[in-house]
Amino acid sequence: MKNISSTMKRIWLWGAVLGASALLNGCTSDTDNDGGTPPPAHQEGYADPDGVILLNQGARMSENGSISYLAPDGTIEKDVYRTVNGSAFGNEAMDLDMCNGKIYIMSNNLYRPNNEAGDGCLVVADAETFRREKVFTADDLTFPRPEGSLEEQEMLPLSTPLENIAVLDEHNIFFSDSQGLFRLDGTTGELNIVKGSYAFGNQGATIETVVSTRGMTVIGDHLYCAGGGFWSETKLFEFTRGSDEVTRELPLKGEFISGICRTGDHELLVATCGRSGSTKSYLTYVDTDSWSITLERPLNADISAEFMNSSGVTLAGDYLYFAAGSLTVSRLSLKTWEVEEYIHVTDDAPEARYLTCNVVADPERQLLYVSVSNELGEAIVSDGNILVYDCSGEEPVLKNNLVNRGSYPVNIYPVSRFYR
């Protein structure tokens, strides 16, 4: 992240060596109606498709994670989970997903701010009410030692940071940590590492990201994420419901993964980039039926996701939006391929110094969400703003400026995305 202290750079890097958002930030995890679990019927309460969920990581040494809910009428409710359950779901929130009327909230849950323990690393709650239904602690989430591992024990623990989560159904809960990608059966608690994923990364040996689950995207029975880096070829990976192995791989150009957007019933737009600050980027359209590249386009812009779990690119209408860790939001026209600076955040939030997560678009309502803070520190509770822009026109229009209604949001989720 640009203009970030060395301490917090390590924190945000440690929170995003593999990830991503994740899933679910305007161009990530979607549900589909052909071949998989059908999208859920319209729901109400906190599952209203016109609402927005903010997942707050919090200052992890001083606060537990929390959830803020932006209602369709523009009002915002803080600390929803605690209000309903009387406890914190976890410490250092990382990602969430919603599927079949349940919401799945993932946290590292390493610390006890103010001597309060979070409920667990993975909490399952009713999506309409946020009433807690099931909890998985770190002790619950162990997996059989994979072939080739030098560990002595038969069952191995997860390694924080936990990263991104995508849920196909309660038997197929995919998430990642700094070791690889896992599939959890939420009914039995059985956790397995996806075959081959243990070798995706370099297990913390360097600071370079090698695989990225940020932007994990669901289409029908399949889950897609991408990986790349100095020691591995950049590829798009496909995973399948009920399977603990990679089902297909597709080589891509670019060194690192910014994010993935779903652009059709069987089409993905994969954004790859060079090292942070580099303008050597690529956009690649992939047909997931034929498993082929239909268009590959170089892009002279920095579209990196920086040290954040959420996707570095987000899609609304004919534009791809990105900030690359800066306080300037740019957009790319997918018709003309021209890039322009679109929003200068400090015009509307003069005290802002940092993005807390990558920008998020709601393509249904042509809205863009930008979360910023005045400070950034693991023990600093900072002022912050959630800026909501109408991006349907040539010029952005600020629709809402929510002040101090969240604490370091790590991702923002327009609920409508869970209904596709």
- Residue recorded with tokens 């924190």: 11
CB 250 within 8 A of CB 291: yes
CA atoms of 297 and 274, how far apart (whole Å): 14
- How confident is the model at residue 383, as a pLDDT? 87
Residue 313 and residue 361: Cα distance in Å, rounded? 9
What's residue 42's pLDDT?
A: 54
Confidence band of 198 (pLDDT split at 50, 70, 90): low
Stretch 358-365: mean pLDDT, rounded?
96
More confident residue, 200 or 47: 47
**Does pLDDT of 122 surpass 60?**
yes
With beta carbons less than 8 A apart as the criterion, state whether 169 and 130 touch.
Answer: no
- pTM to 2 decimals? 0.88
Nearest alpha carbon to residue 416 among 324, 316, 286:
316
Cα gap 326→329, rounded to integer Å: 7
* pLDDT on residue 233: 81
Cα–Cα distances (Å) from 137 to 14, 117, 134, 337, in that order, read: 20, 11, 10, 46
pLDDT attached to residue 278: 78
Alpha-carbon gap, residue 260 to 155, rounded angstroms: 33
Identify the weakest region by mean pLDDT among 184-198, 221-235, 272-286, 361-375.
Answer: 221-235
User: Domain coordinates of the chain in residue numbers?
Assistant: 6-419
Q: Residue 239 corresponds to which amino acid?
A: F
Among 301, 246, 298, 290, residue whose Cα is nearest residue 268? 290
3-state secondary structure of 195: strand
Phi, psi angle pair for 289, to nearest 5°: -75, -55
pLDDT over 50 at 12, yes or no: no
Q: Which residues pair with 354 in a beta bridge?
A: 373
CATH 2.60.40.1510 holds for 6-419: no
Higher pLDDT, 43 or 34: 43
- Mean pLDDT of all residues in 48-55: 96
CA atoms within 13 A on the CB side of 274: 10
**pLDDT at residue number 274:** 83
> What tens digit of pLDDT does each residue of 312-345 get?
999 999 999 999 999 999 999 999 999 999 999 9
Average pLDDT, the chain: 86
Residue that is written with structure tokens 């069987």 in the block: 266
Average pLDDT (50-72) is 95
The percentage of residues in the chain with a pLDDT greater than 90, rounded to a whole number, is 69
